[in-house]
Amino acid sequence: MKVFATKKEIKSYLLTLKNKKKTIGFVPTMGALHHGHLSLIKKAKKKNDVVVVSIFVNPTQFDKKEDLINYPKTLKNDTILLKSVSCDVLFLPSVKEIYNDNISSQKFDFDGLEHQMEGKFREGHFDGVGTIVKTFFEIVEPNRAYFGQKDFQQLQIIKKMVRKHRLDVKIKGCPIFREEDGLAMSSRNTRLTEVHRKAAPFIYKTLKKVRKKFGTENANYITEWVENKFKKQPLLELEYFTIAEEKSLKTIKNKESNKKYRAFIAVFAGKIRLIDNIRLKND
């Protein structure tokens, strides 16, 4: 596995591959890798000649300084995991290499997607995401880039950015990878206390019940039902639960037959904020 820390070096290396007509798959991450990340890399390996993974804890997408400072860093283990799935190139730039001395975001208009859900609770988050992903696309110039449905709003926003800015890259969404007890894998899970880790599978259990209920009950009723369920969970604090249409990400009032819906949730387990979502059947 080749490792690069500067834009200049990785660009020049990738240029030699592009000149040989090699296709490039790109998986941007913030490190503290787990099997969710690896599933994206494996998918990228199947479709591309070369897979580039970036590890960069992007300061501009954090709305809370404490979360940025405490974000887990496990580079040694990350390197082992990357080698285990035959990652070809690791891009590991410093904050200075990416932002120079100006750590700030570009402002984006994602046609309102940025104001829903996460956008309401994490100010500036999606401007930070847009800024870093666009910067990385300009450096790596991948044919395809892979993002998890775990961050479904982010995935939709990246697709929107690619369309609006006419970027020449295909965006591939990948299914959510879960622990055996159903908890969506996340780098932040390692920061859960033992009791909160035990309580956290309740999130996905509830989402699965929501999926069942969506066949017969309306969205308002289900939302209230979820809110009441969480009120009885002393270790979990619900930040939001909403049922939204996949394209607009707007909370729904009534089901329409030709649309796709998902339930989205954000929960604090102690100090750790967890998000998850589930596709709902609409028939």
Q: Is 8 exposed, middle or buried (0-12, 13-18, 19+ CB in 10 A)?
A: exposed
131 lies in the binding site for ligand AMP (CB under 6 A): no
Of these, 30, 87, 161, 199, which contacts ligand AMP (CB under 6 A)? Answer: 30
Cβ–Cβ contacts within 10 Å for residue 254, how many?
7
Give me the 90-129 binding string for ligand AMP, x by CB under 6 A, dash otherwise.
Answer: ----------------------------------------
Residue number with the shortest CB distance to ligand AMP? 148
**Spatial separation of the C-alpha atoms in residues 253 and 149, rounded to whole Å:** 23
Check 37, 125, 165, 196 and give the catalytic one. 37
Of these, 48, 105, 116, 186, which contacts ligand AMP (CB under 6 A)? Answer: 186
Of these, 24, 151, 196, 203, which contacts ligand AMP (CB under 6 A)? Answer: 151
Known active-site residue 37: yes
Of these, 98, 148, 189, 267, which contacts ligand AMP (CB under 6 A)? Answer: 148
Shortest distance, position 130 Cβ to ligand AMP, whole Å: 14
**Buried b / exposed e along 220-247 (16+ C-beta atoms within 10 A):** eebbeebeebbeeeebbebbbbbbbbee
Shortest distance, position 186 Cβ to ligand AMP, whole Å: 5
**Number of residues forming the site for ligand AMP (CB under 6 A):** 17
174 lies in the binding site for ligand AMP (CB under 6 A): yes
200 lies in the binding site for ligand AMP (CB under 6 A): no
37 lies in the binding site for ligand AMP (CB under 6 A): yes
Nearer to ligand AMP, 3 or 252 (CB): 3
185 lies in the binding site for ligand AMP (CB under 6 A): yes
Q: Which residues are annotated as catalytic?
A: 37
Q: Where along the sequence are the contacts to ligand AMP (CB under 6 A)?
A: 29-30, 36-37, 39-40, 147-148, 150-151, 174, 176-177, 184-187
